[in-house]
């Protein structure tokens, strides 16, 4: 079907015809239903453990900033302050904060930006594996984590299991509530 589009009116009529046909064909499609029991999170690895941060607790995901200014007298896990679109953002090595070895920054390194009750921070992680969707039926108890630092265990809020692998839910709200997280002075 070929249309002449020599005037704006011709284009409008064509768009109206496309909309009419689309609506007619859509009537035969099954109704879309939203799954109210779906949980979404950002998958990453921390200290060798697959973890998911609740999607509603992560504001954005950034590449590691090109400039991070060191803060004299700060704890080692506070890598410095970055200027992100005119806003100053403390950048924290999440593994170091949890008492593990520092993250080796590379092409896959990402910064998870959180803003919990006005506390903004960028959390450096080794990489993000993507957005994960889980059904409530996949929720399980948090795995036994005896080898992990206590701080990580304090932030664990259960887990989700898929394909025989558990992914610990790491609460950013619990992390922001740790007193040491709020005071970076050495």
Residues 27 and 42 in one domain: no
**CATH number, domain with residue 143:** 2.40.50.180
Q: For 38-91, what is each residue's pLDDT tens digit?
A: 999 999 998 888 999 999 999 999 999 999 999 999 999 999 999 999 999 999
Residues 46 and 103 grouped into a single domain: yes
Per-residue model confidence as pLDDT tens digits over 9-49? 887 888 888 888 888 888 777 765 555 679 999 999 988 88
- Write out the two tokens for 26: 């859509």
Boundaries of domain holding 176: 38-182
Please state the domain count of the chain.
Answer: 2
The two beta strands, 165-170 and 49-54, are parallel
pLDDT over threshold 80, residue 142:
no
Torsion on CA atoms 163, 47, 132, 125, rounded to nearest 10: -150
- Prediction pTM value: 0.77
Smallest Cα–Cα separation from 51: which of 60, 41, 59? 41
């Amino acid at each position: 079907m070929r249309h002449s589009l020599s005037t704006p009116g011709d284009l409008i009529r064509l768009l109206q015809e496309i909309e009419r046909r689309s609506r007619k064909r859509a009537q035969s499609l099954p109704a879309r239903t939203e799954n109210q029991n779906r949980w979404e999170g950002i998958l990453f690895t921390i200290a060798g453990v697959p973890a998911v941060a609740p999607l509603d607790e992560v504001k954005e995901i950034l590449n590691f900033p090109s400039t991070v200014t060191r803060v004299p007298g700060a704890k080692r896990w506070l890598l410095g302050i970055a200027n992100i679109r005119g806003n100053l953002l403390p950048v924290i090595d999440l593994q170091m904060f949890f008492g593990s070895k520092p993250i080796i920054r590379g092409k896959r390194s990402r910064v998870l930006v959180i803003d919990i009750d006005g506390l903004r921070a960028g959390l450096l992680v080794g990489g993000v594996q993507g957005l994960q969707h889980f059904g409530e039926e996949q929720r399980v108890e948090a795995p036994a984590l005896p080898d992990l630092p206590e701080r990580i265990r304090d932030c664990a809020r259960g887990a989700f299991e898929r394909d025989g692998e558990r992914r610990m839910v790491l609460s950013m709200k619990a992390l922001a509530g740790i007193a040491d997280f709020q005071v970076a002075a050495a």
